[in-house]
Amino acid sequence: MANPGTPTLEQLHVFLVVVDAGSFAAAGRRLNRAVSVISHGIANLEAQLARALFERRGTRKPELTVAGRAVLSEALGAGDVAEEGMGDI
C-alpha cells in the first residue's frame, strides 16, 4: 500500500492529463470521466500532498503553482522510469 503522502500512478496520470489538456473539462473528456471526478481527484491529491497544485482564479485554464511544477517534474520522471521498466518485461 502506498504511503499516505505518496501519490498513486493513477493520481499522477490524472494530474498529467489535466496539465496536458489545459483544463479539468478537457481532461474529463480525454479520460471519459465527469469533470467533478477530475476535480475531486485533483483536490484529493492536493490534500494528500498538503499543497495547492493549480491556481484557480475563476479561469477555465488552471495554472500550475510552484508546487505543481515540482510535482509535474517528478511525475514526468516517474513516467520515464515506468516506461523503462516496462521495456524490460
| Contact (Cβ atoms closer than 8 angstroms) between residue 18 and residue 24 | yes
Q: Which helix (H) or strand (E) holds 71?
A: helix 66-87
CA angle 27, 30, 33 (to 5 degrees): 75
Q: Quick one: fold of 9-87? A: Arc Repressor Mutant, subunit A (1.10.10)
Q: How confident is the model at residue 89 (pLDDT cuts 50, 70, 90)?
A: low
Question: Rounded to an integer, what distance in angstroms lies between the CA atom of residue 85 and that of residue 53?
Answer: 27
Cα angle 8, 89, 86 (rounded to 5 degrees) comes to 35
- Read off the pTM: 0.81
pLDDT at residue 66 greater than cutoff 50: yes
pLDDT of residue 5: 74
